[in-house]
Amino acid sequence: MQVYQLGEGTPEVAVVAGIHGDEPCGPRAVERLLATEPTVERPVKLVVANEEALERGVRYLDDDLNRAFPGSADAESHERRLAYDLVNELRDCTVLALHSTQSTPRPFAVADSVDAVARAVCPHLPVELLVETAGFAEGRLIDHAHTIEVECGLQGSDEAAENAYDLIRGFLAATGVLPAPESTDRLDAGLSDEVSVFRLADKIPKPPADEYEVFATNFESVSAGDRFAAYDGEDLVAEVDFYPVLLSPYGYPDLFGYTAERVGTLD
């Protein structure tokens, strides 16, 4: 784990990149921000979490870090020890954690619940979508720290790294670390008047098979009776209306993704 600090004093704001070693957008954006040597109005910690997995270009060495929280100091698993260290590092901080996905190029925010932190931060992020995990966050960092997660875009894409940079700057503006963006800034142009909120409702399990397909688009409604995915040519048909979230053929080993309901907007 690499920890950088900007500004003097004890940070109450932190950014975490590289929780997954196969998601380079966050570490790239952190390096880019450090290279600009920004002047900060309050101290901030910038953390690159799983350096070992990043160096090898793999998601993790022993366990998925974002299912390993709170972890333990003397675990055999690299990620379980790292989870423990990371929770200590982030204690008393408001945190932005950067991820990327195989499900959609659209950046979106993820919070355990739509609480005061989510309401204060999300309008300053270049996102139109907020997903409330509502009980589906077991073992994840958002269950163990005051954290907003962001999905920056497609894994490994340059666009995800660009989005990650804007998402970090938006978060740092929301938390008073950096001034609000100028009207000429790409970040300012990306801010949305309205953030739609989706609440996860159910997992969509993936039966064992060789080939998987998805036919639905994330955050676009699926109606009861619609075919939305298939495994080895066998169709999955919606039993009720839902919105797919994090839906992809190969993003998770045992899930296609999640069903969600649209619960309203942040205003």
Residues in contact with Zn ion by the rule CB under 5 A: 20, 23, 99
Q: What are phi and psi of 52, to 5 degrees?
A: -65, -45
Q: What's the CA gap between 204 and 13, in Å, rounded?
A: 34
Q: Choose between 99 and 199: whose C-beta lies nearer to Zn ion.
A: 99
Q: Choose between 23 and 89: whose C-beta lies nearer to Zn ion.
A: 23
Q: Choose between 97 and 229: whose C-beta lies nearer to Zn ion.
A: 97
Comparing every residue's Cβ against Zn ion, the nearest one is: 99
Peptide bond into 70 cis (omega under 30): yes
Q: Choose between 101 and 259: whose C-beta lies nearer to Zn ion.
A: 101
Q: Choose between 118 and 150: whose C-beta lies nearer to Zn ion.
A: 150
What are the tokens at 17? 């990149």
Task: Give min distance, CB of 194 to Zn ion, in A.
Answer: 26
Q: What are phi and psi of 48, to 5 degrees?
A: -105, 110
Which residue matches tokens 């340059």?
158
Task: Give min distance, CB of 86 to Zn ion, in A.
Answer: 14
Task: Give min distance, CB of 144 to Zn ion, in A.
Answer: 16
Q: Which residues of 128-150 are buried (b: 16+ CB within 10 A; e: fewer)?
A: bbbbbbbebbebbbbbbbbbbbb
Task: Give min distance, CB of 92 to Zn ion, in A.
Answer: 24
Task: Give min distance, CB of 66 to Zn ion, in A.
Answer: 6
Q: What's the CA gap between 17 and 148, in Å, rounded?
A: 12
